[in-house]
A and B are shown apart, each in its own frame.
Chain A
Amino acid sequence: MVNLESPLSGKILEINMEVGQQVNEDDEVIIIEALKMENPVYCPATGVVKEIKVRIGDQVNEGDILAVIE
């Protein structure tokens, strides 16, 4: 199990994965908006999405767990 942690604080703009979906390392799975800039967040490992802990529009801080990959 690998946690996908937020690399910076901002607002969740897009989530490009669903629970149960197969994802590959370095896929662009989430986009976080900070200071009007879109920051892509890359998947840390290849596997299946076990849980997504955030929703579009959520405010997150650096280090928050966004999703769990199995």
Chain B
Amino acid sequence: MELFQEVILRTGFLALTWGQLVMWAVGFTLIYLAIRKGFEPLLLLPIGFGILLANIPLTPLMTPGSGLIWRFYHYGLEWEVIPPLIFLGLGAMTDFGPMIANPKTLLLGAAAQVGVYFTFFLALLLKFTVPQAAVIGIIGGADGPTTIYLASKLAPEMMGVCAVAAYSYMAMVPLIQPPVMKLLTTEAERKIVMKSLRPVSKLEKIFFPVVALFVICLIVPDAAPLMAMFMMGNLFRESGVVARLSNAAQNELMNIVTIFLGVSVGATMPAATVLQPKVIFVFILGCAAFMLATATGVLFAKFMNLFLKEKINPLIGAAGVSAVPMAARVVAKLGSEANRKNYLLMHAMGPNVAGVIGTAVAAGMFISVLAK
């Protein structure tokens, strides 16, 4: 009889809490959204599964020092290995051509980051700590790996929630951005057709990642881990001589680290950490950050038009957030709705890739000021 009792007590049933059941529901919802609705499935599926794993009572998966998923988390995220490896792949996927052809768009990628800093101050007003506010602000850049990287440096307890917020809003780019973009532009502005992009030579494309790396790292040394990998990946791509490395970074390596990233991020969300009233503000502020970043991008494009002889279409300012290429697609869609012979896709890719750099630089600035 005692033995029987012992066995019962060792099962998870009695240790199960209400919070864990709620987190099961959250995990299952993410898995459902990934499978049925196709919302960022490559990330939300492993994250959702990770949430389930973190909320099964008495399992040794997240035990510090020995748990299996804890090891993924510790060596992958705490050691800051995985986000830079993702940036290596992103660099190999990125074509800087449209940005090199029209360097003004670099400013738009920077302008959208103003939304990040706005939200940082908003979060401070809502009594988040300074490092937490920085991580919430960076959600506005709509860049998953950068958000995770910054959280691992400044506020690990926020990592899971902020990552889910960032990836959810990336999936919702086509819903969140258009109302802001339409509100801030007139029909006539949306109709502006931009002149064709000049062809960019191979030499320019090879020099760009190397020069950009030096410039960025000299200005913001703390952006180096992300930027170093990003620009190396881009050099792999543009050099044309290491197609195998470029492909490996974009495909195999990217896929492998995505598995460990997703499940580890999900596993940082045990019920006790996540189910706090403050978390709801993270989602609200994250959404505000993203809308503000969209708005500052569009407004800055309008500001630039005051000085430019060749007007730019202010919609492309909205692509200054780093959701590549979702934001550029949204710009192209709104542009063609206003004028169906308006092709903004490639013009929007300039600010879009600049936005990736911008968000990583903004994260680097937060780290240099706030990290102990």
Distance, CA A39 to CA B345, complexed state (A): 9
Q: What CA separation (Å) do A39 and B325 show in the bound complex? A: 15
Contacts of A40 in B (CB 8 A): 340
A8 and B345 contact, CB distance less than 8 A: yes
- Least CB distance, B251 to chain A, in whole angstroms: 16
Given contacts A39-B332, A62-B197, A63-B196, contact A34 B340 (CB under 8 A): no
> Smallest distance from the beta carbon of B349 to chain A beta carbons, Å?
7
Q: Which residues of A30-62 have CB atoms within 8 Å of chain B's CB atoms?
A: 34-37, 39-40, 42, 61-62
B329 touches A7 (CB 8 A): no
Chain B min CB distance to A29 (Å)? 13
Q: Are A42 and B341 in contact (CB under 8 A)?
A: yes
* Chain B residues whose CB sits within 8 angstroms of the CB of A34 once the complex forms: 345-346
Interface residues on B, range: 10 to 19
Residues A8 and B199 in contact, CB atoms below 8 Å apart:
no
How many residue pairs bridge A and B at CB < 8 Å? 31
A9 within 8 A of B: yes
Q: Tell me whether B196 and A62 are in contact (CB under 8 A).
A: yes
Contact with B along A11-41 (1 / 0, CB 8 A): 0000000000000000000000011110110
Whether A9 lies near B346 (C-beta < 8 A) is yes
Please indicate the chain A residues that have their CB under 8 angstroms from the CB of B325 in the complex.
Answer: 35-37
> Considering the chains assembled together, what is the distance between the CA atoms of A7 and B342 in angstroms?
9
Of the residues A36, A42, A62, contact of B346 by C-beta under 8 Å:
A62
Q: Specify the chain A residue showing the minimal Cβ separation from B193.
A: A7
- Residues B197 and A35 in contact, CB atoms below 8 Å apart: no
Chain A contacts for B341, CB-based, 8 A = 7, 42
**Are the C-beta atoms of A39 and B343 separated by less than 8 Å?**
yes
Q: Specify the chain B residue showing the minimal Cβ separation from A32.
A: B343
When chains A and B are docked, how far (Å) is the Cα of A39 from the Cα of B343?
8
Smallest CB separation, B329 vs chain A (Å): 5
Report how far A40 CA is from B199 CA in the complex, Å.
22
- Are B329 and A37 touching (Cβ within 8 A)? yes
Q: Which residues on the B side are within 8 Å of A37 (C-beta)?
A: 325, 329, 332, 345
Q: Give the CA-CA distance A57 to B196 in the complex, in Å.
A: 23
Shortest Cβ distance from residue A24 to the other chain B in the assembled complex, whole angstroms: 15
Q: Give the distance in Å from the alpha carbon of A63 to the alpha carbon of B199 in the complex.
A: 10
The interface residues of chain A lying within 8 Å CB-to-CB of B332 are 37, 39
Q: Binary interface profile of B, 305-347, with partner A (CB < 8 Å = 1, else 0)?
A: 0000000000000000000010011001000100011010110
Which residues on A sit within 8 Å (CB–CB) of B197?
Answer: 62
| Closest 4 pairs (CB-CB, A-B) | A7-B343, A35-B325, A8-B343, A37-B329
Q: A7-B341, A62-B197 are in contact. List 19 more A-B contacts (CB 8 A).
A: A7-B343, A8-B343, A8-B345, A9-B346, A35-B349, A36-B325, A36-B329, A37-B325, A37-B329, A37-B332, A37-B345, A39-B336, A39-B343, A39-B345, A42-B340, A42-B341, A61-B199, A62-B346, A63-B196
Could you tell me which B residues sit within 8 Å of A by CB distance? 196-197, 199, 325, 328-329, 332, 336, 340-341, 343, 345-346, 349
| CB<8 Å pairs between A and B, sample of 11 | A7-B343, A9-B346, A35-B329, A36-B325, A37-B325, A39-B332, A40-B340, A42-B340, A42-B341, A62-B346, A63-B196
